[in-house]
């Protein structure tokens, strides 16, 4: 049924998109039905690992790709890189927002509050604010090259802070975190996280990264269409572009 939809641009070119959808579909189905370790407090909510944590892995992947394109923009100066960096950051922010809301919901029923004073939560909130600032900064500059350069430099700075706030700071020894693998809590590997859970979690992460890439590239293509159209109408005599 879905294969019929994949008839533009060749099957090979689109097969990774279908793969992303199928991986996530598999994680949705088997994540609900598959065996999970029986743990107190978590109970069935341990299944949220497949859905909540994969949002964050996806977000970090999107931000890494965004960083790559920002660096490419700074070295080559092509507008495509700037647009790609922007679109991947947007998709990353979307995944991050989904991660923080699902995490808050999960925390309400396992840790007892919508927001607990956990370094990973606060770090995630700060990182999201940093990326909001990226969007605002980029949107506030009109001139194309200046906007691209300032946004790219800021994006590098934002990614470093993201790594610090999500990966380094919660893992420091003198910091207490409820998240597994942080502040002396048992890590991912000792969730009893047997191969059964890994078998769902890793495909889910890969699937969401593929879908995120797809969505970001869709946004990028629309952006390029808009840009080219604006450029053409600007070059045409008698018409003035407002969207450039």
Q: Where on the chain is the footprint of other proteins (CB under 8 A)?
A: 1-2, 5-6, 8-9, 14, 17, 21, 24-25, 28-29, 32-33, 38-44, 211, 214-215, 218, 221-222, 225, 228-229, 232
Contacts of 210 (CB under 8 A, 6+ apart): 16, 17, 19, 20, 23
Secondary structure of residue 8 in the 3-state scheme: coil
Closest distance to other proteins from the beta carbon of 83 (Å): 14
Residue whose CB is less far from other proteins, 46 or 89: 46
CA–CA separation, 26 vs 171, rounded Å?
A: 31
Contacts of 5 (CB under 8 A, 6+ apart): none
Residue whose CB is less far from other proteins, 32 or 199: 32
Closest distance to other proteins from the beta carbon of 176 (Å): 24
| 142: number of Cβ within 10 Å | 8
- Quickly list DSSP for 34-70: S-----TTTGGGGGHIIIIIHHHHHHHHHHHHHHHHH
Residue whose CB is less far from other proteins, 17 or 84: 17
Residue whose CB is less far from other proteins, 111 or 115: 111
Residue whose CB is less far from other proteins, 26 or 68: 26
Closest distance to other proteins from the beta carbon of 236 (Å): 12
Closest distance to other proteins from the beta carbon of 167 (Å): 30
Helical segments of the chain, H only: 11-33, 48, 54-76, 79-110, 119-140, 144-163, 195-235
Residue whose CB is less far from other proteins, 102 or 122: 102
Closest distance to other proteins from the beta carbon of 215 (Å): 7
Residue whose CB is less far from other proteins, 185 or 233: 233
Closest distance to other proteins from the beta carbon of 201 (Å): 17
Output the CA angle 152-157-159, nearest 5 degrees: 95
Q: Widest CA span of the chain, in angstroms? A: 71
Please provide residue 240's backbone torsions phi and psi, each rounded to the nearest 5 degrees.
-120, 135
| C-alpha of 158 from chain center | 14
Closest distance to other proteins from the beta carbon of 162 (Å): 26
């Amino acid at each position: 049924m879905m294969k019929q939809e994949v008839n533009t641009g060749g099957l090979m070119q689109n097969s990774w998109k279908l793969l992303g959808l199928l991986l996530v579909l598999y994680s949705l189905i088997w994540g609900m039905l598959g065996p999970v370790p029986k743990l107190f407090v978590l109970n069935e909510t341990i299944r949220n690992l497949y859905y909540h944590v994969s949002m964050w892995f996806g977000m970090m992947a999107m931000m890494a790709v965004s960083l790559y394109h920002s660096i490419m923009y700074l070295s080559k100066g092509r507008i495509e890189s700037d647009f790609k960096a922007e679109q991947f950051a947007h998709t990353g922010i979307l995944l991050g927002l989904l991660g923080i809301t699902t995490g808050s919901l999960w925390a309400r029923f396992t840790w007892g509050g919508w927001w607990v004073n956990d370094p990973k939560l606060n770090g995630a909130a700060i990182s999201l604010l940093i990326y909001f600032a990226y969007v605002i900064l980029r949107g506030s500059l009109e001139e194309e090259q200046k906007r691209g350069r300032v946004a790219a430099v800021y994006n590098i700075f934002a990614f470093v802070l993201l790594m610090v706030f999500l990966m380094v700071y919660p893992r420091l020894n003198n910091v207490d975190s409820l998240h597994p693998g942080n502040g002396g809590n048992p890590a991912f590997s000792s969730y009893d996280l047997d191969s059964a859970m890994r078998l769902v979690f890793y495909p889910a992460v890969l699937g969401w990264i593929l879908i995120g890439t797809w969505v970001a590239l869709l946004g990028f293509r629309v952006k390029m269409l808009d840009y080219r159209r604006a450029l053409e109408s600007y070059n045409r005599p008698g018409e003035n572009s407002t969207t450039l």
